[in-house]
């Protein structure tokens, strides 16, 4: 049995520890992936802090996995050794529950998440079921693909299901890990793209990412500025503040919709009469399936969209995690494994 390096958490709230483990075997319906890169996501704290019901320890975190298939289990068709693949938040589904029977795999009652339901990508090898795989295009690097498998797919999939059409005003609230990708997607999807963030120093970055307009929420009224453009068809809320979202909903145009992808414990307050008379709505959006991930990767490769990343070797995972969680990293942190 060969051995590998992995970074695991031994108990809820415990440190990320570099350990040696047996290389896992691919069972029926699974592939083994030689990990090349794995992104660090804020949701990895669910694993590290044990904030997920039924989570078992020790556990290797990581659900932004990019690598190469290194072995295939029995019964696997359509995937071969040597193929580049990614695994994101959608790490498997049962295929039998009511939601799966309706084709809504990402909301499967027994949905699996790498790094939570089974060991994830902070390791040299990971085993995943075939339904979790996304093919990575040749001209996309592993380090760039990794964050697209969670932060990328979430914004891409929310925008493409938003109902906005080419030329519509689409605002991205927040230019962080999610938002800096959301601005790029919105621009490349053909929307009249507005970036909203705090401070004038983000204006240049917003333009660089492709925004046609920039709103500095510290000095400008978001509703006033969006209404000057005719109101937003869509506001993609990537911030993690209910208050910040509440301050923006007034900028929706007729039939406009706010889509929430950033998580906050604060509620969002909406002006009810305005919502009724403008036929406004508000919606949450949960990521997508492995097929949606693959679409995200292809669209990104075709249109030159890349995450802004800082890279760390696997051995420095604990430091990289702290950098991501402390907000020290501006956008996304990626572990280079191979």
Q: Identify any residues that bridge with 235 across adjacent strands, giving them in sequence order.
A: 171, 258
**Token output for 78:** 């359509």
The stretch near Zn ion (CB under 5 A) out of 147-155, 159-167, 206-214, 275-283 is: 147-155
Q: Which is nearer to Zn ion, 129 or 223 (CB)?
A: 129
> 196 in helix, strand or coil?
strand
Kindly tell me which residue out of 8, 30, 36, 43 binds Zn ion, with binding defined by CB under 5 A.
Answer: 43
**Closest approach of Cβ 197 to Zn ion, in Å?**
21
> 161 in helix, strand or coil?
coil
Q: Which is nearer to Zn ion, 72 or 116 (CB)?
A: 116
CA 312, distance to chain mean position in Å, is 19
- 158 lines the binding site for Zn ion (CB under 5 A): no
**Closest approach of Cβ 154 to Zn ion, in Å?**
8
- 154 lines the binding site for Zn ion (CB under 5 A): no
213: Cα within 13 Å, side-chain hemisphere: 21
Reported as type and span, the H/E element at residue 153 is helix 153-160
Q: Which is nearer to Zn ion, 75 or 286 (CB)?
A: 286
217-223 LR contacts (CB < 8 Å, sep 24+): 217/244, 217/247, 217/248, 222/171, 222/173, 222/196, 222/247, 222/248, 222/250, 222/251, 223/248, 223/249, 223/250, 223/251
Tell me the per-residue interface mask from 95 to 114 with Zn ion, x by CB under 5 A, - otherwise: --x--x-------x------
**Closest approach of Cβ 97 to Zn ion, in Å?**
3
Q: Which is nearer to Zn ion, 41 or 181 (CB)?
A: 41
Binding residues with Zn ion: total (CB under 5 A): 8
Nearest C-alpha neighbor of 145 from the set 72, 186, 86, 220: 86
Q: Which is nearer to Zn ion, 108 or 252 (CB)?
A: 108
Q: Which is nearer to Zn ion, 93 or 213 (CB)?
A: 93
- 335 lines the binding site for Zn ion (CB under 5 A): no
**Buried b or exposed e, range 252-266, using 16+ CB within 10 angstroms:** bbeebbbbbbbeeee
- 325 lines the binding site for Zn ion (CB under 5 A): no
**Closest approach of Cβ 147 to Zn ion, in Å?**
9
- 308 lines the binding site for Zn ion (CB under 5 A): no
How many Å from the N-terminal Cα to the C-terminal Cα in the chain? Answer: 20
285: Cα within 13 Å, side-chain hemisphere: 29
- 87 lines the binding site for Zn ion (CB under 5 A): no
The stretch near Zn ion (CB under 5 A) out of 20-28, 35-43, 120-128, 219-227 is: 35-43
Kindly tell me which residue out of 94, 203, 205, 291 binds Zn ion, with binding defined by CB under 5 A.
Answer: 94
- 116 lines the binding site for Zn ion (CB under 5 A): no
Instruction: Enumerate binding residues for Zn ion (CB under 5 A).
Output: 41, 43, 93-94, 97, 100, 108, 150
């Amino acid at each position: 049995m060969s051995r590998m390096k992995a970074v695991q958490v031994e108990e809820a709230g415990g440190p990320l520890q570099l350990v040696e483990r047996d290389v896992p075997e691919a069972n029926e319906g699974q592939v083994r992936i030689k990990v090349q890169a794995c992104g660090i996501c804020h949701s990895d704290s669910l694993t590290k802090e044990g904030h997920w019901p039924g989570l078992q320890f020790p556990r290797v975190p990581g659900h932004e996995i990019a690598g190469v298939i290194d072995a295939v289990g029995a019964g696997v068709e359509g995937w071969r050794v040597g193929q580049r693949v990614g695994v994101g938040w959608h790490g498997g589904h049962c295929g039998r529950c009511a939601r799966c029977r309706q084709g809504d795999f990402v909301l499967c009652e027994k949905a699996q998440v790498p790094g939570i339901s089974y060991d994830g990508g902070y390791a040299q090898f990971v085993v995943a079921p075939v339904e979790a795989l996304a093919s990575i295009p040749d001209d996309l690097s592993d380090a760039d693909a990794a964050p697209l498998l969670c932060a990328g797919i979430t914004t891409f999939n929310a925008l493409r299901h938003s109902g906005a059409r080419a030329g519509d005003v689409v605002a991205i609230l927040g230019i962080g890990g999610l938002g800096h990708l959301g601005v790029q997607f919105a621009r490349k999807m053909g929307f009249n793209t507005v970036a909203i963030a705090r401070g004038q120093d983000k204006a240049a970055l917003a333009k660089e990412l492709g925004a046609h307009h920039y709103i500095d929420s510290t000095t400008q009224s978001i509703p006033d500025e969006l209404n000057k453009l005719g109101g937003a068809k869509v506001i993609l809320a990537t911030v993690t503040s209910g208050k910040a979202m509440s301050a923006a909903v007034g900028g929706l145009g007729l039939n406009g919709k706010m889509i929430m992808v950033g998580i906050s414990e604060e509620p969002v307050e909406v002006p009810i009469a305005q919502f009724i008379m403008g036929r406004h709505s508000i919606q949450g959006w949960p990521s997508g399936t492995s097929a949606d991930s693959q679409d995200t990767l292809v669209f990104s490769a075709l249109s030159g969209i890349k995450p802004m990343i800082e890279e760390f070797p696997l051995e420095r995972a604990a430091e990289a995690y702290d950098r991501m969680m402390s907000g020290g990293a501006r956008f996304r942190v990626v572990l280079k494994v191979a």
